[in-house]
C-alpha cells in the first residue's frame, strides 16, 4: 500500500510536469498582436472663417497626429483678420491618421445634445455667436459667426466639451465657466486683427 | 522544557484475514511518534469488548494477552490526545507498530492546507479570525485589515480598496488565497484584490519579506487567507450572513455549507452576493459609486493525516462604478475639479452603474496533494490556474459608447512543490520550487491603444527554509530563495513616444515591425532575484519576549512599470513606464517587543526598510495634445528609506471591559533627492472601549475613535499651467494633503440560541457617527469628493 501511494504520487508529479511543459510550449507559438488604430482619435480641428463681404477664407488649424503622444499640436492661422468684419464660421474635427480622414463632426452632430463648442477670445479681438442649435434649442457651435471691431491681437481658444451642462448659467451664450463636462478638443489660436 | 503539543492521531495499519477460535493469542505493539519515530510513553491501549487495558512503557511497548483470533477494536489514547479507535485483525501472536502524531496543534480541526511557515515565531505577523472577518462580510479585504497596526489602504473610492503594509502595496504585496498566489493584475492602484473576504476563515498579515515560501518579491509583506477548517467528523454545517446598510442602500448576502465525514472527506460551497447603490458623503451623493458583486466557491477533498488532496474553484465578479465626477478631459477639467468644493456632477441616488466603471472577473482552480513520510516529513504538490479578465469603461461617444476602453485577459499557471522535513522537533527544513507561466492578452477591439501590452512571463523559483529551536527560549529561522523571471512582450509604441523616450539609442534592436505611425517592439527582459531572511525570537520570561529579523528581497519591475503608455482618464494624466527599469532591492530589519499577562497585552513593532532602485510613479511635467494639456506621470526609480513603528495594546479592566489602542507611524524618504516619498500613509491612532456580557446573550458593544493625522511630509509635485479659457496661469495642486480627521464608530452584537445547533447573531454597526466631512490622503478620489458619511449596518448571522 505504501509503495502504491508512492507510485500514485509520482504519477501526479509527472502529470503536473507534463502539463507545465505543455503550457510553456503552447505559449511560445503566439502570433504578433494586431495593431490598434484609435477610432475616436481627434487629430485635427479646422475652423474656416468666410468674410461676409467676400474674400479669401481664413483657416485656423490645430493638427496633432500622434494623439496623446508627446508631440504638441501644430497650430496654424492662414491670415490676419480684418477690422470691422463679420465672418461666417464652420468647424470640422477629423481623424487624419485614417485615410481618407474620418470626419468626426458627423458624430458630434449625431449626439449634438452632448456636445458644445466654446469660443473664448482674449483682448476683445472678436465676438462669437452660435448659428446652430440641437433638438433642445441649445447651441452646438459647428456653425458660428465671428465679428471683429478694432485692431487688436490676442488669442481665440476653441474648446469642444462632451456632456456639458448646457442649461447652466451663461452656457447657452457661450460662457464656458459653468459648463462642466469633459474636454475633447482644445486649441489656442494666436489672432491679429488689423 | 518545551511543551510538546499533545493532540494526537492514530494511523491504522494493514489487516490480515483470519478465522480461528482459540483465545490465547498475544498482541504486542509499540506506539510511536509519527514524525521522529520515537516511542511514546504512557499511551493507553484499551479493548472495550473485553475490558482489557494496557499501558505503554518507556520504550512505547505494550502487550495484551489471551485474545481470541478475529477482529479486535482497539482504543488508543494519550494525554491530551483525541481518543482514536483502530480495528486490528489477528490470527496468531501479532506484533504491530502504532503511529501517533505529536506535532499538529489541533487535529480535531486541521486546516485544509497547512499553508506554510506562517506559524514561525520569528516574523512580524498578525492574525484575524472568524468573527472579526465576518463583521466585514459586506466589505473588502482591505477594509478588514485596516484595524491592524501598520496596515492601511490605498483606495479609489470606497469599493476599490488595496491593502498597504508598512507603506507598501500593489506588486510589493503577495496575497495568498487557499495556498495560491493571487495573480490578478495587482500592479495597478485601482486594481483591488479579487478575493471574496467571506471565503477566508483566517487572515494572516506578515510584514516584510520573511516568508520566502510564497515568493521573494514581497518587499511589503504577505497576506495569507485560509478557508475554514474541516471537522474530522460526520457533520453538515453552514452559516448565512445577511447585511443591510444605509449608506449606498445596499445589501450583502453570504451563505456557506459544508459536509464532512469522519474519514476525512469534505465538500464545501460558498456564495456571496452584494449590491450597493450610490454611496453618499454627508452632503451629497457620490454619483456612480455603486457596486455589484457575485462570488462563488466550491471545494472538496480528502483530509487525512498521512495524505490528502484538495480541489478548489472560485469565481468572483465585481462591477464597480467609478465616481462620475472623476472622469476628466484635460488639465483644465482637473483644475476645475480640484477647485470645486463639491463634485462637478452629482445626480440623485441610483443603483445604476454607468461608465466610468470596471468589470472584473477572476477565476481560480487549484488541485493539491500531500503525503507524509514516516520519520521524514511532508511532501506537497500543487497546480493552479487563474484567469483574470478586466474591463474598464470610459465615457465614450458614438458607436463605441458601450465598448470597454480596456480589455485585459491575464492567464496564469503555476506548479509548486515543497517538502518539509519535520522529523526532528527542534530542527525543521523546508525546500520547494515554483514554476509559473503567465500570458496577458490585451484585446485590440477596444479601439484604444493598449495601456498594457501582450506578454508572456515565466517564473522559476527555489527556496529553502530552516527552523531551529536552539533552546527553550530561543527560536531561529533562516531562509534563502532564488527566482528567475523572464518577460517577453510585444508592444506598439507610437514613433513619437519612442523617440521622446530616447529608446532608439538603447532598444532599436527590439523593433520587429513598422506600422505607419507606430513601431511594433519585442522587449525581452530577464531578471535574477536573490532573497534571504533570518529571524530570531527570544522569550525573556513568561511575560516578555522579543524578536529580530532581517529580510533581503528583490522585485523585478512589473508590466505596468515597464510598459505603461497612455492616458488615464480617471486622473487626467498620461502615465509612462520605463523600459530601463531594473529590479529593486530591499534590505529590511525589524524588531518586536511583546508583553503578555493575564489582563494586558502590548506589542511594539519597529522596522527600517532600505530600498535601492525603488520604483514609484510621480508627476514630471505636462504635455500638449489636441485635447489640451495633460500632466505626465512617469514610473521612476530612486533610493528610498522607510521606517516606522506600530503599537498595539489590549487591556482588560475587570471581566467586562476591554480597552484597545492601535497606533502606527511611518516615514518615507527619497534619500537620493532628499525629498519625501509620495503616498506614505498618515499616522493613525485607534482607541476603543468594549463591553462584553457573556451571560446575557454573549452581548458585546464597542465604541471606537479613529484619529488620522494630516500627512505633512509629502513631495511637492505641484505645477503651473496656462488655462486658455480664462487666460490665466494657475497652480495645479496635486500634492497638498487633506486635513486630519476624527471618526467615531460603534459596534454591538448579541447571539441568540435558536436550537441545539442553530445560533443567530444580530449585529449593529455605525460608522462615522458624527457624519463629518473628511478626505483621506490615500484615496485617489480625494481631489473630487468627500469620503463617506454616516452609515448604519445591520447584520444577521445564522450558524447552523
State how far the Cα of A93 lies from the Cα of A109, in Å rounded to an integer: 11
Say if residue B112's pLDDT is above 60: no
Whether the CB-CB separation of B642 and B611 falls below 8 Å is answered with: yes
Q: Are residues A56 and A20 in the same domain?
A: no
CATH of the domain at A89: 2.60.40
State how far the Cα of B80 lies from the Cα of B101, in Å rounded to an integer: 12
Whether the CB-CB separation of A153 and A147 falls below 8 Å is answered with: no
- Among A137-151, B89-103, B525-539, name the one with the lowest average pLDDT: B89-103
On the CB side of B264, how many CA atoms lie within 13 Å of its CA? Answer: 16
Strand partners of residue A137: none
According to the 3-state scheme, what is the secondary structure of B260-323?
Answer: ECCCCEEEEEEEEEEEECCEECCCCEECCCCEEEEEEEEEEEEECCCEEEEEEEEEEEEEEECC
Q: Are residues A27 and A70 in the same domain?
A: no
Say if residue B114's pLDDT is above 60: no
B512 vs A39: CB contact, 8 Å cut-off?
Answer: no
Q: Are residues A18 and A56 in the same domain?
A: no
Q: Report residue B80's pLDDT band, with 50, 70 and 90 as the boundaries.
A: low
Q: Over range B666-694, report the average pLDDT.
A: 95
Whether the CB-CB separation of B408 and B452 falls below 8 Å is answered with: yes
B327 vs A182: CB contact, 8 Å cut-off?
Answer: yes
Q: Domain for residue A182, yes or no?
A: yes
Q: Closest Cα to residue B751, out of B736, B762, B764?
A: B762
Interface test with A, best of B403, B415, B725, B726 (most A CBs within 10 A): B725
Say if residue B118's pLDDT is above 60: no
Range of the domain at A21: 1-31
Q: Over range B650-660, report the average pLDDT.
A: 95
- Among B14-28, B88-102, B400-414, B475-489, name the one with the lowest average pLDDT: B14-28
Per-residue model confidence (pLDDT) at position B11: 29
* % of chain B beyond a pLDDT of 70: 93
Residue B497 main-chain phi, psi, to 5 deg: -70, -40
State how far the Cα of B109 lies from the Cα of B120, in Å rounded to an integer: 19
Q: Are residues A48 and A19 in the same domain?
A: no
Question: How far is CA A37 from each of CA A99, B416, B445, B516, rounded to the nearest angstrom?
Answer: 12, 41, 10, 10
Tally C-beta pairs within 8 A across A and B.
173
Measured distance between the N- and C-terminal CA atoms of chain B, rounded to whole angstroms: 41
Domain ranges of chain B: 10-100, 110-225, 232-799
Q: Are residues A135 and A67 in the same domain?
A: yes
Instruction: Give tens-digit pLDDT for B127-176.
Output: 888 888 998 999 999 999 988 999 999 999 999 999 999 999 999 999 99
Superfamily classification of domain B10-100: Immunoglobulins (2.60.40.10)
Whether the CB-CB separation of B43 and B29 falls below 8 Å is answered with: no
Instruction: Give tens-digit pLDDT for A72-84.
Output: 999 999 999 999 9
Say if residue B5's pLDDT is above 80: no
Interface test with A, best of B626, B722, B723 (most A CBs within 10 A): B626
Say if residue B477's pLDDT is above 50: yes
Beta B628-653 vs B573-576: how paired, if at all? parallel
B503 membership: H or E segment, kind and range: helix B503-507
Say if residue A28's pLDDT is above 70: no
Q: Are residues A179 and A124 in the same domain?
A: yes
The average confidence (pLDDT) of chain A is: 86
State how far the Cα of B385 lies from the Cα of B481, in Å rounded to an integer: 23
Distance from CA of B136 to the nearest CA of A (A): 36
Per-residue model confidence (pLDDT) at position A22: 53
B624 vs A65: CB contact, 8 Å cut-off?
Answer: no
Q: Are residues A74 and A51 in the same domain?
A: yes
Say if residue B622's pLDDT is above 90: no
Which residues of chain A does B516 touch, with a Cβ-Cβ cutoff of 8 Å?
97
Say if residue A12's pLDDT is above 90: no
Q: Domain for residue A93, yes or no?
A: yes
B494 vs A66: CB contact, 8 Å cut-off?
Answer: yes
Q: Domain for residue A38, yes or no?
A: no
Residue B228's CB is within 10 A of a number of other CB atoms, namely: 21
B452 membership: H or E segment, kind and range: none
Strand partners of residue B86: B74
Q: What is the DSSP letter of B136?
A: T
Which residues of chain A does B446 touch, with a Cβ-Cβ cutoff of 8 Å?
36
Strand partners of residue A102: A95
- B542 alpha-carbon distance from chain centroid: 32
Per-residue model confidence (pLDDT) at position B616: 94
Q: Are residues A166 and A72 in the same domain?
A: yes
- Which A positions 45-84 lie with beta carbon below 8 A of chain B? 45, 62-73
Q: Over range B669-679, report the average pLDDT.
A: 95
Q: Are residues A24 and A77 in the same domain?
A: no
CA torsion A50→A51→A54→A56, rounded to 10°? -60
A183 vs B627: CB contact, 8 Å cut-off?
Answer: yes
Domains held by chain A: number = 2
Select from 3.30.499.10, 2.40.170.20, 2.40.40.20, 1.10.10.10 the CATH code of B232-799: 2.40.170.20
Q: Report residue B95's pLDDT band, with 50, 70 and 90 as the boundaries.
A: confident
Q: Domain for residue A36, yes or no?
A: no
Q: Are residues A75 and A164 in the same domain?
A: yes
Q: Domain for residue A159, yes or no?
A: yes
Q: Are residues A12 and A53 in the same domain?
A: no
Q: Report residue A31's pLDDT band, with 50, 70 and 90 as the boundaries.
A: confident
CA of A180: which chain B residue's CA is closest?
A: B344
Whether the CB-CB separation of A161 and A127 falls below 8 Å is answered with: no
Superfamily classification of domain B110-225: TonB-dependent receptor, plug domain (2.170.130.10)
**Sheet strands side by side (includes A115-121):** A115-121, A152-162, A182-193
Q: What is the DSSP letter of A111?
A: T
Q: Are residues A48 and A90 in the same domain?
A: yes
Amino acid at each position: 500500500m505504501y509503495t502504491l501511494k508512492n507510485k500514485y504520487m509520482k504519477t501526479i508529479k509527472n502529470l503536473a510536469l507534463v502539463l507545465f511543459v505543455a503550457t510553456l510550449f503552447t505559449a511560445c507559438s503566439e502570433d504578433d498582436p494586431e495593431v490598434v488604430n484609435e477610432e475616436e482619435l481627434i487629430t485635427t480641428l479646422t475652423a474656416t472663417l468666410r468674410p461676409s463681404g467676400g474674400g479669401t477664407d481664413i483657416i485656423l488649424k490645430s493638427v496633432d497626429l500622434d494623439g496623446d503622444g508627446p508631440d504638441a499640436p501644430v497650430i496654424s492661422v492662414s491670415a490676419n483678420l480684418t477690422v470691422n468684419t463679420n465672418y461666417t464660421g464652420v468647424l470640422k474635427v477629423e481623424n487624419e491618421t485614417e485615410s481618407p480622414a474620418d470626419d468626426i463632426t458627423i458624430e458630434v452632430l449625431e449626439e449634438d445634445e452632448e456636445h458644445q463648442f466654446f469660443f473664448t477670445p482674449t483682448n476683445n479681438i472678436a465676438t462669437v455667436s452660435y448659428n446652430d442649435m440641437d433638438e433642445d434649442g441649445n447651441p452646438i457651435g459647428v456653425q458660428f459667426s465671428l465679428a471683429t471691431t478694432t485692431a487688436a491681437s490676442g488669442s481665440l481658444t476653441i474648446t469642444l466639451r462632451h456632456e456639458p451642462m448646457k442649461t447652466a448659467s451663461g452656457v447657452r451664450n457661450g460662457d464656458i465657466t459653468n459648463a462642466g463636462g469633459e474636454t475633447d478638443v482644445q486649441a489656442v489660436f494666436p489672432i491679429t486683427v488689423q | 522544557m518545551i511543551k510538546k503539543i499533545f493532540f494526537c492521531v492514530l494511523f491504522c495499519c494493514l489487516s490480515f484475514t483470519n478465522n480461528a477460535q482459540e483465545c490465547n493469542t498475544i498482541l504486542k505493539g509499540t506506539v510511536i511518534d509519527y514524525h521522529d519515530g520515537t516511542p511514546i510513553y504512557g499511551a493507553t491501549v484499551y479493548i472495550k469488548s473485553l475490558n482489557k487495558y494496557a499501558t505503554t512503557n518507556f520504550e512505547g511497548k505494550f502487550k495484551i494477552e489471551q485474545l481470541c483470533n478475529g477482529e479486535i477494536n482497539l482504543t488508543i489514547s494519550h494525554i491530551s490526545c483525541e481518543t482514536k479507535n483502530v480495528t486490528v485483525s489477528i490470527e496468531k501472536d501479532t506484533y504491530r507498530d502504532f503511529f501517533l502524531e505529536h506535532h499538529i496543534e489541533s487535529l480535531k480541526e486541521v486546516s485544509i492546507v497547512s499553508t506554510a511557515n506562517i506559524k514561525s515565531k520569528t516574523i512580524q505577523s498578525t492574525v484575524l479570525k472568524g468573527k472579526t472577518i465576518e463583521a466585514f462580510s459586506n466589505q473588502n479585504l482591505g477594509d478588514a485589515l485596516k484595524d491592524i497596526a501598520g496596515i492601511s489602504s490605498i483606495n479609489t473610492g470606497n469599493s476599490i480598496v488595496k491593502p498597504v503594509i508598512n507603506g507598501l502595496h500593489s506588486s510589493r504585496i503577495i496575497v495568498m488565497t487557499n495556498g495560491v498566489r493571487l495573480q490578478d493584475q495587482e500592479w495597478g492602484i485601482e486594481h483591488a484584490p479579487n478575493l471574496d473576504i467571506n471565503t477566508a476563515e483566517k487572515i494572516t498579515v506578515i510584514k516584510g519579506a520573511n516568508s520566502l515560501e510564497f515568493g521573494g518579491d514581497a518587499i511589503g509583506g504577505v497576506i495569507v487567507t485560509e478557508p475554514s477548517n474541516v471537522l474530522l467528523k460526520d457533520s453538515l454545517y453552514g452559516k448565512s450572513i445577511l447585511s443591510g446598510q444605509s449608506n449606498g442602500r445596499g445589501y450583502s448576502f453570504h451563505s456557506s455549507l459544508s459536509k464532512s465525514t469522519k474519514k476525512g472527506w469534505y465538500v464545501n460551497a460558498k456564495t456571496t452576493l452584494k449590491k450597493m447603490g450610490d454611496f453618499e458623503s454627508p452632503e451629497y451623493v457620490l454619483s456612480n459609486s455603486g457596486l455589484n458583486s457575485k462570488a462563488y466557491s466550491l471545494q472538496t477533498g480528502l483530509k487525512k493525516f498521512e495524505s490528502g488532496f484538495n480541489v478548489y474553484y472560485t469565481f468572483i465578479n465585481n462591477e464597480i462604478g467609478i465616481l462620475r465626477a472623476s472622469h476628466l478631459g484635460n488639465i483644465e477639467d482637473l483644475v476645475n475639479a480640484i477647485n470645486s468644493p463639491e463634485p462637478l456632477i452629482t445626480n440623485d441616488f441610483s443603483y445604476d452603474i454607468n461608465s466610468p466603471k470596471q468589470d472584473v472577473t477572476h477565476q481560480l482552480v487549484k488541485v493539491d496533494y500531500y503525503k507524509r513520510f514516516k520519520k521524514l516529513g511532508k511532501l506537497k504538490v500543487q497546480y493552479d490556474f487563474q484567469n483574470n479578465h478586466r474591463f474598464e469603461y470610459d465615457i465614450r461617444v458614438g458607436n463605441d459608447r458601450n465598448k470597454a476602453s480596456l480589455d485585459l485577459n491575464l492567464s496564469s499557471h503555476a506548479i509548486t512543490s515543497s517538502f518539509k522535513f519535520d522529523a526532528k522537533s527542534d530542527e525543521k527544513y523546508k525546500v520547494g520550487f515554483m514554476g509559473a507561466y503567465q500570458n496577458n492578452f490585451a484585446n485590440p477591439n477596444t479601439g484604444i491603444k493598449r495601456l498594457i501590452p501582450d506578454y508572456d512571463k515565466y517564473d522559476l523559483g527555489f527556496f529553502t527554509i530552516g527552523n531551529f529551536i536552539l533552546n527553550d527560549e530561543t527560536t531561529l529561522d533562516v531562509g534563502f530563495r532564488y527566482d528567475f523571471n523572464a518577460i517577453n512582450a510585444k508592444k506598439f509604441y507610437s514613433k513619437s513616444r519612442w523617440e521622446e523616450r530616447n529608446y532608439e539609442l538603447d532598444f532599436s534592436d527590439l523593433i520587429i515591425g513598422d506600422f505607419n505611425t507606430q513601431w511594433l517592439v519585442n522587449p525581452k527582459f530577464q531578471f535574477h532575484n536573490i532573497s534571504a531572511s533570518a529571524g530570531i525570537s527570544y522569550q525573556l520570561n513568561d511575560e516578555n519576549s522579543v524578536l529580530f529579523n532581517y529580510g533581503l528581497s528583490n522585485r523585478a519591475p512589473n508590466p505596468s512599470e515597464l510598459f505603461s503608455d497612455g492616458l488615464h482618464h480617471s486622473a487626467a494624466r498620461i502615465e509612462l513606464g520605463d523600459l530601463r527599469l531594473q529590479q529593486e532591492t530591499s534590505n529590511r530589519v525589524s524588531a518586536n517587543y511583546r508583553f503578555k499577562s493575564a489582563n494586558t497585552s502590548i506589542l511594539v513593532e519597529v522596522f527600517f526598510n532600505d530600498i535601492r532602485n525603488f520604483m514609484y510613479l510621480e508627476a514630471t511635467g505636462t504635455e500638449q495634445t489636441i485635447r489640451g494639456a495633460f500632466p505626465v506621470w512617469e514610473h521612476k526609480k530612486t533610493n528610498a528609506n522607510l521606517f516606522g513603528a506600530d503599537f498595539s495594546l489590549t487591556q482588560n479592566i475587570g471581566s467586562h471591559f476591554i480597552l484597545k489602542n492601535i497606533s502606527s507611524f511611518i516615514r518615507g524618504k527619497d534619500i537620493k533627492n532628499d525629498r519625501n516619498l509620495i503616498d506614505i500613509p498618515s499616522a493613525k491612532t485607534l482607541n476603543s472601549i468594549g463591553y462584553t456580557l457573556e451571560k446575557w446573550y454573549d452581548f458585546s458593544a464597542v465604541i471606537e475613535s479613529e484619529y488620522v493625522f494630516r500627512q505633512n511630509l509629502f513631495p511637492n509635485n505641484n505645477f503651473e499651467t496656462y488655462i486658455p479659457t480664462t487666460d490665466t496661469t494657475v497652480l495645479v495642486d496635486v500634492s497638498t494633503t487633506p486635513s486630519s480627521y476624527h471618526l467615531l464608530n460603534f459596534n454591538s452584537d448579541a447571539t441568540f440560541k435558536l436550537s441545539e445547533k442553530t445560533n443567530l447573531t444580530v449585529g449593529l454597526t455605525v460608522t462615522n457617527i458624527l457624519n463629518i466631512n473628511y478626505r483621506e490622503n490615500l484615496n485617489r478620489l480625494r481631489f473630487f469628493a468627500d469620503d463617506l458619511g454616516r452609515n448604519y449596518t445591520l447584520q444577521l448571522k445564522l450558524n447552523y
